[in-house]
Each structure stands twice: as C-alpha cells, then as structure tokens.
Amino acid sequence: MRLIEVRQDRELGPVLVVAGADLMDGTPIYDIKPYLPYADCRPGAVGGFASAPGGGLEVNCSRELLEAVPEDKRAGLLAVLAQDPRPRYQDDPDRTYGMSFAGLEVKFRVEGERLTVTEISRGPTLQGMEPEKNLKTS
C-alpha cells in the first residue's frame, strides 16, 4: 500500500486519472480517500474536502457513566468525543448519536459546542449474548 496522486480530468467528465501506481489496465482501485491538508503531507497539494480539523467540543460525562469505562481507556474516549465523531453533515441537537469504543457502545447528544454522554453499555459479544448492564443518565 502506498500514497499515490489521483486527479479528476474535467474534460473527460467523471474520470479519475491515476499517476504513479504500478497497475495493469483494468486493475481495480478499491480505496480512494480525499487529501486532507491537516493530516497528509504532499507539497503543493490542494485540499477541497476538509481544509482543517473541526473544533473541539466540551465533553460532559457523569462520573457514574465514566466508571463503566476501563480506567486506561477513559482519556482516549474523552479525546475522541471532543473531536466530534458525528458525520459532518449532521447537526441535530435532538438526535442521540452512538459509537463503539473499546468494546462499549457510547450514546451522546450534541448541542452547540457541548457533547453530553447519555449512556454507556457493553457492546454485543461475539456469540450474540445480551449486552451487560446499561448505564444511563436520568
């Protein structure tokens, strides 16, 4: 695997021109990601997808909910939540979002610049057993 440059040829329409790859004609390319100037380093490249990382959120998580997270994973969870794990196109303060983290299901809501964790539960097990006790805020 390696980073190669891909450009859209506007004269050909929805055609991507791939340069620098050792491929035979017809070889499928399975994973094309946008260039992110804040995360990638290609001198002279121009980003058009996301020019800068999103701002950090204030994360509110009760002590009771945070105790459900292994101590060595707590700082990581809070850091991920502060980076706003919602899809960029969604900003609904009435919606409850969810994500998996370290074998846990974490539910949260975001209003303005504040993320509030509403529930942390064990994720499903490999054998499909019921998740363990859920913790919720009232």
Both tokens of residue 98? 């969810």
- Domains of the chain and any CATH numbers: 1-53 (no CATH), 58-136 (3.30.2310)
- Would you list the DSSP string of 41-62? --TT----S-SSPPPPPEEE--
- pLDDT tens over the chain, length 138 residues: 556 666 666 667 667 777 666 777 777 777 777 767 666 666 666 655 555 566 689 999 999 999 999 999 999 999 999 989 888 788 899 999 999 998 899 999 999 999 999 999 987 655 555 545 555 555
